[in-house]
Chain A
């Protein structure tokens, strides 16, 4: 809970962090989300898994509105996502996002990657942003690389920078979309360790990942998605030991073999 002291979330600390009500999303004629309901409490850590194409990315991208839903309601930090640019701005500020392919800005240094958005959105002066960025880079243990460009770093280092970059906007919620899937096996651990540290600071987290060790250790709830729907949602112990749905059982069976 130490995190909430630095985040902007404290003002609306009462309601849930994220609330999805009957959310539908179509890509053209393709029904990618079919009525998703999900409530994420503050400080809750959620791991989302499911087969490829089941709508996990779409779900997480609807939360920060990189994809607009067409029916239902998405509420983040008590703010409903509407066409209003102010609401959109508030939601994007509240929710930081880490991508599978890092998406760092290659023409900027590590430090500039971290300070661009805080300075440009008026969140901090340049000096404040520099100090903040260095402290977060310290936290993901990469401060000594601050003046390098992303291309000079390994994949694991780049992903840690991407986490620091998102944290520099002082989000109260962090969204991860398969953050370790693009990494070589020996780099997965350093990124997961960073995420575990973040979780132990009390950050609200939604992570799409198939790292089941991480899910067991960190998640309050594991969600299984299939064909655009949440099929099962349970604490990790129950989820892994006694999956109720046949589709979950089949999926977990595949993961283990």
Chain B
């Protein structure tokens, strides 16, 4: 009897709490009904359009003629062009393979078990390999210029290389901005502040239009790589500031303990400071990276064919009644999968680093 008094009160069953939350008071009842009505009036037409009245097959223009719902036939028929752009059709297996390799490697790299130094080597080998396969021009593969590249492989290569390259650069910039060497500090501050002060669009225009006026032809990289470098530098400036926020939160005792143990500057940063500083700022790093993933779509303004621009190109076919909504929904789903997947990964990473401290 006395035992019951000292036991903590048991939490109510989940279903009880749910019912209480939804219908516990007149106001709750009213709100529940309102929200249910709103959801229904939005979801019902959407479902009707996307599923019940939609047509998927056959994948030809005739299929969509008298359809009130979505014309997924178009997406089915044009998926190759949306995903791979104007890359020669008979060579399409190459971008397909590139996407498969990149996605598989991404999936592989997200597992904590894979995080060893050899993973960096795998990527350093894989990225040039992927680019060589896209280019061709060796071993019987025909040469395909970057102007013919398009769609998902462009988005993936830009995303992976720009963000993968920006991250280490950002760590160096963040450390450099806190350096006690005035020259290094000034350089890093200048780079970060200048880059952040310019819109990405203007940086892309500078890279694609201004650079050719300034640099001799021989020194000028391909337009694709100019855009890639612009994206990389832009992302690095933002990531550097996020990482610097984490560095500022590190207590001085951590530096002193490492110093007293005889760890030098770089080992202290690599093993003591950066792992903790980055763990602190995972949420803002995640947002920044997701924004950067989506920023890759801006390369279309300088004439590169990312997913969105190759989708637009596909819509230009006069045979079809231009089902733009369906096409953009398809592309949105791909971006969603990329960004959502990355967001989940970051969440797992965060709870992992919370567990350990």
Contact = CB atoms under 8 A, between A and B. Distances in A.
A103 B263 CA distance: 14
A97 B271 contact: no
Given A106-B357, A116-B271, A169 B261 contact: yes
Given A92-B262, A116-B271, A107 B353 contact: yes
Interface stretch (B106-114, B146-154, B252-260, B305-313): B252-260
B356 interface: yes
A92 B267 CA distance: 15
B144 interface: no
Interface in A50-76: 64, 66
A126 to B, nearest CB: 13
A188 interface: no
Given A92-B261, A107-B275, A107-B357, A101 B253 contact: yes
A216 interface: no
Interface in A68-99: 89, 92-93, 95-97, 99
A20 B271 CA distance: 33
B262 to A, nearest CB: 4
Given A117-B262, A169-B262, A103 B271 contact: no
B256 A99 contact: yes
Interface residue range, chain B:
20 to 34
Contacts of A97: 257, 260
A151 B276 CA distance: 14
Interface of B is mostly: helix
B298 interface: no
A236 B318 CA distance: 99
Contact of A103 (B256, B267, B353): B256
Interface residues of A, number: 25
A103 B257 contact: yes
A66 B259 contact: yes
A121 interface: yes
Contacts of A96: 260
Interface in B252-284: 253-254, 256-264, 267, 271-272, 275-276, 279
B156 to A, nearest CB: 32
Interface in B326-357: 353, 356-357
Nearest to A112: B271
A107 B279 contact: yes
A165 B258 CA distance: 11
A64 B260 contact: yes
A150 B262 CA distance: 21
Q: Which one of B262, B275, B279 has the greatest number of beta carbons of chain A within 10 Å?
A: B262
12 contacts: A97-B260, A99-B260, A107-B353, A107-B356, A107-B357, A116-B271, A117-B261, A117-B262, A120-B263, A121-B262, A149-B357, A169-B261
Interface of A: 64, 66, 89, 92-93, 95-97, 99, 101, 103-107, 116-117, 120-121, 149-151, 165-166, 169
Interface of B: 253-254, 256-264, 267, 271-272, 275-276, 279, 353, 356-357
User: When A and B form their complex, which 3 residue pairs have the shortest distance between CB atoms, in order from nearest?
Assistant: A103-B257, A117-B261, A103-B253
